[in-house]
Amino acid sequence: MNTTQLECFLAVAETLNFSKAASMVNISQPAVSHQISSLEAELGVRLFLRTNKSVQLTKEGLSFIGDAETIFRTAMNSIHRLSTNASEKKQTLAVGVHNQFELDALVPILEITGKVYPNFEPEITMMPFKSLDTLLDENNVQLIFAIKADDEAPKAECFTSLCECPVMLICRKDDVLAKKQNIGIDDINGRRVILVKRHKCPDAAMSGYMKLGMPNNSNILLADGCEAAFAMAKAGLGITAFPMMPYMCDDELSYIPIGGLPPVTLGIYSKKLIKGETAFEFVLNAKKFYKNYPDPIDKTKNV
């Protein structure tokens, strides 16, 4: 397996068109076809279903995308690092997030770290929950921004707490529930509830759903991720619930605290941190920044 094979695979996976992929990687279309065929032969699986009219990823091809991206990025970073003068050494850091909300919470820490290290080069990976845990286990990411419930089993060697995130009911501003100061289970009964599919839902949020009895509600609308759930709520298709993370406020939605549910914690999963390394300094900056972060419930009152 080589970088040319991987680059061609990722280009075809993105475009589902061998001609467009050839243009992206700047080689001929027959050469792209040859690279894909040789990669499939090496892996022993079909990555694409090809006809005269269409190109589709197989199940194996779809599952290989994350591995191919990781291997290709690692190889290119190694080439770049070895060819760079030691005096110009980059401060690289591989950080994982599960959704846009975690990425938004990551932004100010990236800015702070960039000011400390002029050659700071973050590698940000956004992937579903279990997949990202595996990348941390295999040292393909160094840190994961995530929310964690107090009773949740440890996923990594270390977890650094940043701030508490109360579980909120989320609905449109014109919903009857938007006028309430606090929500109880009785207020939710009978309403159409939007739930994030289990494989895309953080354990901390799923724990909250279970305590609310939401999965037992007969009127359920499933969303393929947190962002999709919020979009459906904004469209008035139902109500949802999720921990209120920093920078999550949307002025078209109302966020109402749910009584009886403890807050969850936004933090950073990692292996053991070593003082002086970029990951250690990054986590330290995150702790300092979120130590004085405003109460998320107070922030929603101004939205």
Based on the fold, state whether residues 52 and 76 are members of the same structural domain: yes
Closest listed residue to residue 269, CA positions, set 119, 172, 141, 84: 141
Reported as a single tens digit per residue, the pLDDT across 7-18 is 999 999 999 999
Same domain? For 158 and 278 the reply is yes
Residues 253 and 270 in one domain: no
Cβ-proximal residues to 198 (8 Å cutoff; 6+ apart), any chain: 206
Note the pLDDT of residue 208: 73
Are residue 48 and residue 187 in the same domain, yes or no? no
Closest CA to 8 of 19, 249, 269: 19
Mean pLDDT of the region 57-83: 84
DSSP secondary structure letter of residue 251: T
* Residue whose C-alpha is closest to residue 60's, from 33, 36, 34, 76: 36
Tell me the one-letter amino acid at 54.
S
**What's the CATH code of the domain at 196?**
3.40.190.10
Question: Poorest-confidence range of 53-62, 76-85, 116-125, 232-241?
Answer: 76-85
Count of structural domains, the chain? 3
pLDDT confidence band for 302 (50 / 70 / 90): very low
pLDDT in tens, 90-109: 788 999 999 999 999 999 99
Asked if 7 and 27 touch (Cβ cutoff 8 Å), the reply is no
155 and 277 inside one domain: yes
Alpha helices per DSSP H over 44-194: 59-83, 100-116, 129-137, 185-188
pLDDT higher than threshold 80 for residue 113: yes
- pLDDT exceeds cutoff 80 at 136: yes
- pTM here is 0.67
Output the six-digit token pair for 18.
């061998």
Asked whether the beta carbons of 182 and 168 are under 8 A apart, the reply is no
pLDDT at 253 over 90: yes
Q: Which domain holds residue 111?
A: 91-163+265-300
Q: What is the mean pLDDT of residues 216-239?
A: 89
Number of residues assigned to the chain: 303
- Among 14-28, 78-92, 126-140, 256-270, which is the least confidently predicted range? 78-92
